[in-house]
Amino acid sequence: MGSDDERKRFLEQVRKACRIGRRLRELGIRRYGIIRIDSATSTAEWSKDPETNTKRIADTFRQACDIADEYGERLAAEGEICWGGMHSWKRMVQLLELVDRPKTLGFQADMAHTLLFTLGYNAPEDRLLPEQFVWSRRDQFEQSLRLLTSALRPWTINFHIAQNDATVKGSGSHDKTGRHGLPNDPSRKLNIVRDSGYWMRDDKGERTRALQHICWDGCMFSNSVMMNQRTWCDILATMIAVRQAHGWD
């Protein structure tokens, strides 16, 4: 979204990533995958001229798609509320539609971040749940997930299983972004296995088979947590449960 020089540097990084991705495919190391991108701008900067800035981001993303096509790669826009023009579910859909390259550019859904779309932390006008939402109202929360995933699922080509306690953290360009939690966090708001189904099944409850793999996003944990064997036993058990519930051979 920045200056011509900044956009040029952004696109050069996309080219480098695509070049590496193709080479790894040629070597047989990486049979599939995506290159993840974002708008690389804050919500505050974007909000100075929302419509013009969204169109500028879309133009940059279309150029990134041209590059990805050269290398046989696909791109996924990271659904994280800290990125301007991508900070709400409505703005994310708007951007994807403006780019209009569905064969090349899709959406990366991360459950910890997309949960915050329902709460409208950086876009109160697009919130799906009321302020001071009572989390015991599981039916109301599930309704918001159905609306959210119905809008973004058709674009989703990359899926990160994660947990969130409905709070945000971050600093600098990552101010107000999703706080990842452990699967069994006592403050958890997601039923990971059940809620994964909203992304991995269509509105009729049928498996979409749109994803080649699932992964866990657990950044922001301390080294002591990452070095604890229990952490990985719980994560792998959760991922296996998701695969059994919504996956396929």
pTM of the predicted model as reported, rounded to 2 decimal places: 0.92
| pLDDT reading at 108 higher than 60 | yes
The string of pLDDT tens digits covering residues 171-229 is 555 567 778 889 999 999 999 999 999 999 999 999 999 998 899 977 778 899 999 99
For the segment 122-181, what is each residue's pLDDT rounded down to a tens digit?
Answer: 899 999 999 889 999 999 999 999 999 999 999 999 999 999 999 887 655 556 777 888
Question: Does the domain spanning 4-246 belong to CATH 3.20.20.150?
Answer: yes
Counting beta carbons within 10 angstroms of the beta carbon of residue 151, is it exposed (0 to 12), middle (13 to 18) or buried (19 or more)?
middle
Confidence at residue 171, expressed as pLDDT on a 0 to 100 scale: 57
Domain boundaries, the chain: 4-246
Helix ranges (H only) for 100-184 are 111-117, 138-152
Give dist(CA 42, CA 87) in Å, integer. 9
What one-character DSSP code corresponds to residue 121? S
163: left (phi over 0), alpha (psi -120 to 50) or beta: beta
The whole-chain average pLDDT of the chain stands at 93
